[in-house]
Amino acid sequence: MKQYNRNTSIYILRHNNHIVKASESPSIPAVFAFTDSTLDSGNNNGLATIFRGDHPLYGRDFPGHIPTGRFSNGKLTTDFLVSNLGIKDTLPA
C-alpha cells in the first residue's frame, strides 16, 4: 500500500509540474504542508532552547552553505515542489 501511495504521489507531482510550467504565471499563491519530519524539518529559532539548527553542519547543502535554523542539511521534497511551482525557493518552516 505504501508503494502504491508513493507512486501515485510521484505521478501527480510530475503531472502537475508539467501543467504549471506550461502556464506563464501559476495561480497557486501558497502551499501548506501538514506532515511529519519527512517533509518538515522544523525551526526553533524563536524558542529559548539548547537544541538549535542555526549552526554549521545544518544547511551545508543549501545555496551559500548557510545554516537556516532548519534541522536539515539541504532542501526537502516540499522545497523542490514550491520551487518548481514558482512560489518560493524554499517552503518556510
pLDDT of the residue at 23: 53
d(CA 92, CA 20): 21
pLDDT of the residue at 63: 79
From the list 30, 9, 3, 12, the residue with the least C-alpha distance to 85 is 30
d(CA 77, CA 40): 9
Buried residues in 24-58 as b, exposed as e (16+ CB within 10 A): eeeeeeeeeeeeeeeebbebeeeeeeeeebeeeeb
* pLDDT higher than threshold 80 for residue 15: no
pLDDT of the residue at 48: 84
Residue reference for cell 548557510: 66
pLDDT of the residue at 2: 61
Taking the model in full, what pTM does it have?
0.57
* pLDDT higher than threshold 70 for residue 61: yes
Average pLDDT over residues 52-74: 81
Query: Is 37 among the catalytic positions?
Result: yes
Q: Return the percentage of the chain with pLDDT > 90, whole number.
A: 0
Residues, the chain, total? 93
From the list 38, 42, 40, the residue with the least C-alpha distance to 52 is 42
* pLDDT higher than threshold 70 for residue 73: yes
Catalytic residue among 23, 27, 37, 83: 37
